[in-house]
Amino acid sequence: MTSPISRGFHGRRPAPGAGRLPPGQYETHDFPVLSEGPTPHTPLDKWSFTLVGAGGKKARWNWTEFEALPHEKLTTDIHCVTKWSKFGTAWSGVSIDALLAAGAAMGVEPAPYAVAASDGGYTTNVPLADLTHGQAWIAVGYDGEPLAAEHGGPARLLVPHLYFWKSAKWIRELRLLDHDSPGFWERLGYHNYGDPWREQRYTGDE
Amino acid sequence: MTPDNATTPTTPSYTPHPIPWRIATVMRIVQETPRVRTIVFDVPGWPGHRAGQHVDVRLTAEDGYQTERSYSIASPPEEAQLSLTIERLEDGEVSSYLVGELRVGDTIELRGPIGGHFVWDFPDGGPLVLVGGGSGIVPLMAMLRHRALASPELRRALPARLLYSSRAWGEVIYRDELARLGANDPTLEIVHTITREPPPSWTGFRRRIDRAMLEAFTGSAAERPRLYVCGPTPLVEAVADTLVAMNYDPATIRTERFGPTGGTG
C-alpha cells in the first residue's frame, strides 16, 4: 500500500547524516529513558556478572574482576524502537569477544543463541553471531562517566546495530543456549531480531 | 538476581501476523488545554486494544518523506472510535502537526495496538493505584475510563486511586471528566497536585510528588496494589524509587517514561 499524503504535513528533513537514520526514526539530542519498571540500584560490592555456557559451566566476575578485563572505547549511533535515534554516543566497556575469550579459559562453551538477564527480571535474546566480532559490549561508561543507573548502570549490554531494547540495562548474566528463547519484549509482540534498518519493530514485521 | 521467569508475561499478545498500517480519519477534535488536543479517529478494521496500549502514527509529506511517532491510546477498549490525546511540544515535528494543523476529515496512517506490559484489565485486579504527571495521564485515563464502564459491584472490588501532577490548573488534562468520574464513584479517589501555578483558592498539594504524598495516597503495601506510573522521566524515576523504598514489590510497579505523550517528538 502506498501511503497517502498527510495534508499540510511538510516535516523536518533530517539535516546532514540523513543516511544514518533508519526508516521511521528521528534524531534526538536527548537521551530518553525507557524501562518497564523501577530502576534497580545494585551497589557495586553486591554486583557480579555471570557468563553461562551451553553446558552449564559458569564464569563469574565481581566488579573489581570485571574492571580488570580489557576495556574498549567506542562511538556509535543508537536506535530505539520508540522512534528516536541518537548519533555519536560514546561508550566504554568490555567486548563480548573479550568476555567469551575469558570465559573459554574457564571452560564456558559457546552456543548459537544468547539471552541477557538483568536485575529486575528483564531478559532479551540475541543470536551469538550478533554479539561477536566487535558488535557488542558490556558497557560500563557513557560520555566519559560511569554509566548512570537510569541508563542501565552499572553495566548494560550494548548491541548498537539492533533496536535498543536488545541492549539490556542492568545486565547481570549472559546465558549461551543451543536454542532461541524470546525475552521480555519479544514475548509481548516485539520483533524477535529487531534490525532497525529493516524496521523490524514488531512481531510479523518482515 | 531475579530469574527471568519472574516477569514472564502472563498474557502474551504474540501476534504472528504483521501489524498493518491503517487509514485513520479524524472525526472530532477536542481542545483539552491550550497545548493539548484529543483527536478522535475512525479506524476501519481496528482490532481492539487494552487500556494502556499505544499506537504508531506515520505521516507522509508530498515528496514521500515519512516520519513516525508513538502515542498512547486515550479511549477505553469499549469505544469503537480511537482517541489519542497529544501534547504540542516546542519544536515537535509531529505533535505540532497533529495539534496545530490536523482537521476533521483529514486522514493519517496508524498501526497498533502496541505494548503488552503497561496495560490493565479487570482480571489484573486491584486496588489500582495510578500516578501520573502531565500528559502521562493519557494511558492512565484509558484505564479509568475502562474501569468506569464496569458494574458498580466490579468497581467496588477494584478500588482505584489517581494521583495526578500538573504544572497549572489550566494544564490539567481531562479536568472536568476526572471530576465527574470521581463524583460518581465512591470507590475512585482522585488527588491533584499543582506544582507551579495553583489557583489562588487552592488548598490541595502544591509540590512535586514526594514520599509523604505517596504515603498519604497509595495505601498499604500489604494490599499489593497494581501500580502504574506514567509521566516525564524525572517524575517516574522519583516515584518508582520511592515506591520501592516504601516496600512495594518492584514486580507490581509498571512504568512508562516519556516527555510528552509517547515520545520526544
Three-class SS state of B112: strand
Q: What are the sequence ranges of the domains in chain B?
A: 22-114, 122-257
What residues of B are in contact with residue A35 (Cβ under 8 Å)? 255, 257
B227, closest residue in chain A (CA to CA): A37
Q: Strand pairing of B160-168 and B253-257?
A: unpaired
Of B14, B61, B244, the CB nearest to A9: B61
Task: Give the model's confidence band at B227: pLDDT under 50 very low, under 70 low, under 90 confident, else very high.
Answer: very high
Name which of A32-41, A92-101, B55-64 the model is least confident about: A32-41
Residues in chain A: 206
Residue B241: the pLDDT is: 95
pLDDT at residue B7 is higher than 60: no
What residues of A are in contact with residue B58 (Cβ under 8 Å)? 3, 24
Question: What pTM was computed for the model?
Answer: 0.89
Give the span between the Cα atoms of A120 and A115, in whole angstroms. Answer: 15
Residues in chain B: 265
Q: What are the sequence ranges of the domains in chain A?
A: 46-198
Name which of A15-19, A88-92, A101-105, B154-158 the model is least confident about: A15-19
A3, closest residue in chain B (CA to CA): B60
Residue A93 CB neighbour total at 10 angstroms? 25
ipTM: 0.85
Superfamily of domain B22-114: Translation factors (2.40.30.10)
Q: Give B 110-129 residues with CB within 8 A of chain A.
A: 114-118
Give tens-digit pLDDT for B8-39: 444 444 446 789 999 999 999 999 999 999 99
Of A4, A34, A183, the CB nearest to B107: A4
Residue A15 burial (C-beta neighbours within 10 Å; 0-12, 13-18, 19+): exposed
What residues of A are in contact with residue B1 (Cβ under 8 Å)? 117, 119, 172-173
- A46-198 is a CATH 3.90.420.10 domain: yes
What residues of B are in contact with residue A150 (Cβ under 8 Å)? 233, 237
Q: Which three cell numbers stand for residue A24?
A: 521511521
Asked if B255 is an interface residue toward chain A (Cβ–Cβ < 8 A), one would say yes
Residue B153 CB neighbour total at 10 angstroms? 8
Task: Give the model's confidence band at B202: pLDDT under 50 very low, under 70 low, under 90 confident, else very high.
Answer: very high
Q: Which CATH code is given to the segment(s) B122-257?
A: 3.40.50.80
Q: Give B 217-246 residues with CB within 8 A of chain A.
A: 233, 237, 240-241, 243-244
Which of A7, A50, A206, A42 lies closest to A138 in space, CA to CA? A50
What residues of B are in contact with residue A189 (Cβ under 8 Å)? 12-15, 19, 114-116
Residue B43's Cα: distance from chain center in Å? 20
Name which of B13-22, B40-49, B128-137, B251-260 the model is least confident about: B13-22
* Best to test chain B binding among A188, A190, A198, A201 (most B CBs inside 10 Å): A188
pLDDT at residue A14 is higher than 80: no
Q: Which three cell numbers stand for residue B190?
A: 482522585
Give the span between the Cα atoms of A194 and B53, in whole angstroms. Answer: 20
Residue A162: the pLDDT is: 98
* Best to test chain A binding among B5, B7, B90, B99 (most A CBs inside 10 Å): B7
Q: Which three cell numbers stand for residue B177?
A: 471528566
Give the span between the Cα atoms of A187 and A124, in whole angstroms. Answer: 10
B164-178: buried (b, 16+ CB within 10 Å) or exposed (e) per residue?
bbbeeeebbbbbeeb
Helix locations, chain A, DSSP H? 63-67, 96-104
Pairwise CB contact (< 8 Å): B19 & A205: yes
Give the span between the Cα atoms of A11 and B39, in whole angstroms. Answer: 20
Residue A179 CB neighbour total at 10 angstroms? 8
